[in-house]
């Protein structure tokens, strides 16, 4: 039973992160003018803030009610699934995984912004980026920027099967602490756990 619980927990806690594709290196080195204009564009787009918000929205979308959904899925004995202490342990595990994924993304944010800057500078001319800047400064452009985190989060959820690597690693890293707490709980409540701890 304990192994089944761990497997179910690991699967449930595999919260996908925002997909950041690793494309091949640009063929040409962007000019200084293009890089400067791309940095201006990234600032106008509030790229760092939007990326953080998109990640937070994705996490909320995936973890909101996740514990309840899994606990009601039949993976656990009913009495065990209803035990407040067990539910708290399980939710703490999910929160730990979510926090690790978000911390990892936050730590990588400067590199992400720099990569995006170079990609824009390589693929768009300064004049084209001027046009984008003009758009993002319009009313519609501001609406696009405001809605972009939610749109990005929804897209990330829809493509979750392609973005589970970091979340799976975080789940694995958090598993020992979850197992320690779970075994301690099971030792106190063998009638609910339905199995002896080893």
Whether this model's pTM surpasses 0.75: no
pLDDT of 55 reads 74
pLDDT of 7 reads 47
Q: Does residue 140 lie within any of the structural domains?
A: yes
Tell me how far apart the alpha carbons of residues 44 and 47 are, in angstroms, rounded to a whole number: 8
Supply the DSSP string of 84-128, one letter for each residue.
HHHHHHHHHHHHHHHHHHHHHHHHTHHHHHHHHHHHHHHHS-HHH
pLDDT of 88 reads 86
Residue 186, C-beta contacts closer than 8 angstroms, at least 6 positions apart: 2, 192, 193, 195, 197
Q: Does residue 153 lie within any of the structural domains?
A: yes
Q: Does residue 14 lie within any of the structural domains?
A: no
Per-residue model confidence as pLDDT tens for the chain (198 residues):
544 444 445 444 444 444 444 444 445 789 999 999 999 999 999 888 887 887 777 676 666 556 666 666 666 777 887 888 988 888 888 788 878 878 888 888 899 899 999 999 999 999 999 999 999 999 999 999 889 877 876 776 676 656 555 666 677 788 888 889 988 998 898 888 765 444
Q: Which of 47, 25, 23, 32 is nearest to 126 (CA)?
A: 32
Q: Does residue 79 lie within any of the structural domains?
A: yes
First-to-last alpha carbon distance for the chain, in angstroms, is: 11
Output DSSP code: residue 195: S
Strand, helix or coil for residue 17? coil
* Domain count along the chain: 1
Q: Does residue 197 lie within any of the structural domains?
A: no
Range of the domain at 133: 2-8+30-192
Q: Does residue 16 lie within any of the structural domains?
A: no
Q: Does residue 87 lie within any of the structural domains?
A: yes
């Amino acid at each position: 039973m304990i192994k089944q619980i761990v497997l179910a927990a690991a699967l449930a806690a595999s919260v996908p992160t925002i997909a950041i594709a690793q494309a091949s290196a640009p063929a040409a080195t962007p000019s200084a003018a293009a890089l400067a204009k791309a940095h201006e564009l990234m600032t106008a787009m509030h790229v760092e803030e939007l990326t953080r918000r998109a990640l937070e929205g994705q996490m909320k979308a995936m973890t909101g009610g996740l514990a309840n959904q899994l606990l009601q899925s039949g993976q656990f004995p009913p009495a065990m699934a209803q035990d407040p202490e067990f539910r708290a342990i399980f939710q703490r595990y999910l929160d730990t995984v979510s926090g690790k994924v978000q911390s990892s993304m936050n730590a990588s944010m400067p590199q992400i912004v720099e990569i995006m800057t170079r990609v824009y500078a390589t693929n768009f001319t300064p004049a084209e980026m001027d046009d984008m800047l003009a758009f993002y400064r319009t009313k519609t452009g501001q609406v696009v920027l405001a809605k972009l985190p939610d749109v990005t989060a929804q897209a990330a959820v829809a493509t979750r099967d392609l973005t589970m690597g970091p979340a799976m690693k975080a789940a694995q890293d958090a598993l020992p602490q979850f197992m320690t707490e779970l075994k301690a709980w099971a030792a106190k409540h063998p009638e609910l756990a339905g199995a002896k701890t080893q």
